[in-house]
Amino acid sequence: MNRRRFILTGGLLVAAPWLPARATPDAVAEAIHAVTGGVPLQPGRVRLDLPAMVENGNAVGMTVGMDDPAASVRSLHVFADGNPLPNVLHATFGPAAFRPQLATRIRLANNQTVHAVAILPDGTCWTASVDLVVTLAACLE
The structure's pTM equals: 0.80
Cα 138 → chain centroid: 13
CA-closest candidate to residue 21, choices 82, 80, 79:
82
- Per-residue pLDDT reduced to its tens digit, 73-124: 999 999 999 888 899 999 998 877 778 899 999 988 888 999 999 999 999 9
Structure confidence at residue 70 (pLDDT): 74
Question: Can you name the residues that pair with 47 across neighbouring β-strands?
Answer: 65
What is the percentage of the chain residues whose pLDDT exceeds 90?
50
Element (H, E) at 13: helix 3-15
Structure confidence at residue 17 (pLDDT): 46
Structure confidence at residue 30 (pLDDT): 93
Structure confidence at residue 116 (pLDDT): 96
- How many Cα atoms sit within 13 Å of 26 on the Cβ side? 0
- How many residues are there in the chain? 141
16 has pLDDT over 60: no
Structure confidence at residue 76 (pLDDT): 95
- How many Cα atoms sit within 13 Å of 113 on the Cβ side? 11
What is the percentage of the chain residues whose pLDDT exceeds 70?
81
The pLDDT-based confidence of 138 (bands split at 50, 70, 90) is low
Tell me the average pLDDT across 8-17. Answer: 47
In this predicted model, which residue has the larger pLDDT, 23 or 105?
Answer: 105
CA-closest candidate to residue 46, choices 87, 100, 96, 97:
100
Tell me the average pLDDT across 130-134. Answer: 91
Average model confidence (pLDDT) for the chain? 83
